[in-house]
Chains A and B, each alone.
Chain A
Amino acid sequence: MTVTRAEYCVIACAEAWRDNGEVLASPMGLIPALGARLAKRTFSPDLLLTDGEAMLVGLDGTVEGWLPYRQHLTMVTGGRRHVMMGASQIDRFGNQNISCIGDWARPKRQLLGVRGGPVNTLNNPTSYWVPKHSARVFVEKVDMVCGVGYDRAAAAGPGATRFHRIPRVVSDLGVFDFATPDHAMRLASLHPGVTVEQVREATGFALHVPHEVPYTREPTSEELELIRSVIDPQGARRREVDG
């Protein structure tokens, strides 16, 4: 059976937590949640997961610990966590917005608010997931910087850069990182079936594209079996990403 786009996305999200060791994986959104579970079931067994509320749970849901919000925030500032957040807007240096669209003083569209974007980005690795890659999300300049990008962290000084890291951005089109000299966003891999041109058209800023762009890796047969039969047997992943 052919691998679907949603399955490549799950794999690409799972890869964010490879070699992270014994840290809390905080996936926000369905595909990142599937990815975190896949990583824990395969190459990153030491990851910690929550039930979405205050309990640390194993893959079968068995409670192994307690993590109310107050302790969760210490997990963030202590750095033993890798979060994958959503982004209503994200720019070329990884500044992210989930607060509002338009002028903050009188927003055109009020969204969630900054939430934990500022604390996450300055304290623990923060990756992003964008289920529908478009120039409305990948913008030249975000309307409100919630998650701090590389340029803004650098401008704010060593207190801001000390623990700042954005390992990757995963979208329905590919994987992106900031492995360029000025930490501008780079196309790291294309999901099979996607072209560089498609990504360029759907991105509102000049994206760094290397000469050779690899494809997102294939899932192993074990991984595919786990996604389809164990982690997401109902196929909920298809609701977030077509194909």
Chain B
Amino acid sequence: MSDKTMSAEEAVGRLESGMTLGIGGWGSRRKPMALVRALLRTGITDLTVVSYGGPDVGLLAAAGRIRKLVTAFVTLDSIPLEPHYRAARERGAFELTEVDEAMFMWGLHAAANRLPFLPVRAGLGSDVMRVNPALRTVTSPYEDAETFVAMPALRLDAALVHMNRADRLGNGQYLGPDPYFDDLLCEAADAAYVSCERLVDNIGTAELAKEAAPQTLLLKRSSVTGVIETPNGAHFTSCAPDYGRDEAFQKLYATTPYGEFAERFLGGDEQDYQHAVQDWRKERGR
């Protein structure tokens, strides 16, 4: 069995402009931010991004890397509206496929199960149908003869997700309260890159068996391409129980013009980012 560990640079080095990219987490929760930061350091652009959106979308939108976004919302949770996403939408910076939260989930399920679509009741009667004229309905062949939205599969070229723990083979573990949809994203993708707080030698034994139940072993190595150890790699989103959201830093992000923020925090590599955050904290503590 092969060692799938790689650097964040290697992982994003396998991505290309124009790809359809799924990003895990939810809002400002357990987002693979270190991988997004690594992506921002490349010239990759023209992306179709599929995400329950948070600052991952905000950063990529602000940097002009998104051609099309597929989402149900973009939020920072404690700050309801994502300012960089808003600004990008209001200047018409990219195309949007806006679907409901459940439609989004069933699109991932369809892709993970290699189905062209799945029927969902959500969407009927709403303007989701108006703004997505390509959406079709499907009628039940049974007695009920009900009509549903045929939510098309959200097949991905690649997925980026962040776990609490992972092993070198690609088995991934979440230790927080919610898996979100990270396993589905990996299964819906041709390649999945998993960053983790801590790389462990054998995820099924040793300390991990003591740390959590088997149900926390969310990602199977068969749907994972690369494993990247990035401590504090979800920062500034939450990554329970390793750490909560960095609310003060998120506020800084939300209130600083993108150019200024990028210059101070995104100019160097991930280590530089983490140091810049430390320096900002020290300054603030004074």
Contact = CB atoms under 8 A, between A and B. Distances in A.
A59 interface: no
A122 B81 contact: no
Contacts of A104: 98, 127, 130-131
B75 to A, nearest CB: 6
B281 to A, nearest CB: 26
Interface stretch (B31-39, B101-109, B200-208): B101-109
Given A70-B179, A70-B181, A158-B146, A114 B81 contact: no
Interface stretch (A140-148, A183-191, A217-225, A226-234): A140-148
B258 interface: no
A76 B220 CA distance: 28
B180 interface: yes
Contacts of B122: 77, 118-119, 122-123
A99 B75 CA distance: 12
A121 B128 CA distance: 13
Interface string B109-134: 00000000000111111111011000
B90 A110 contact: yes
A181 interface: no
B123 A159 contact: no
Contacts of B146: 158-159, 162
B28 interface: no
Given A73-B105, A159-B148, A162-B146, A113 B98 contact: yes
A239 B179 CA distance: 34
Interface string B66-99: 0000011111000011000110011010000011
Interface in A149-197: 152-153, 155-160, 162-164
B279 interface: no
B178 interface: yes
B26 to A, nearest CB: 6
Interface string B209-234: 00000000000000000000000000
A162 B144 CA distance: 11
A216 to B, nearest CB: 28
Contacts of A113: 53, 71-75, 98
Given A73-B102, A110-B90, A114-B98, A155 B180 contact: no
| Interface size grouping (class) on chain B | 35 or more
Contacts, number: 136
Which residue, of A110, A148, A155, has the highest number of chain B Cβ atoms within 10 A? A110
Contact of B127 (A73, A108, A146, A159): A146
Contacts of A1: none
Interface string A109-136: 1111111111101110000000000000
A211 interface: no
B128 A114 contact: yes
Contacts of A160: 121, 124-125
Nearest to A154: B125
Contacts of B121: 77, 119, 122-123, 159-160, 163
A116 B101 contact: yes
A115 B101 contact: yes
A110 B179 contact: no
B177 interface: yes
A69 B181 contact: yes
A155 B124 CA distance: 10
B89 A110 contact: yes
A118 B100 contact: yes
Contacts of A118: 100, 102-103, 122-126, 128
Contacts of B130: 104, 145
Interface in A35-73: 53-55, 66, 68-70, 73
Given A73-B102, A110-B86, A122-B121, A157 B147 contact: yes
A107 B89 contact: yes
9 contacts: A53-B177, A73-B102, A105-B131, A113-B53, A113-B73, A113-B74, A116-B100, A118-B123, A119-B102
Given A73-B105, A113-B75, A114-B73, 13 more contacts: A54-B177, A68-B178, A107-B89, A109-B86, A112-B80, A116-B101, A116-B102, A148-B124, A148-B125, A152-B125, A156-B124, A156-B125, A162-B146
Interface of B: 26, 53, 71-75, 80-81, 85-86, 89-90, 92, 98-103, 105, 120-128, 130-131, 146-148, 177-181
The 6 closest A-B pairs by CB, nearest first: A119-B122, A113-B73, A156-B125, A54-B177, A119-B102, A118-B100
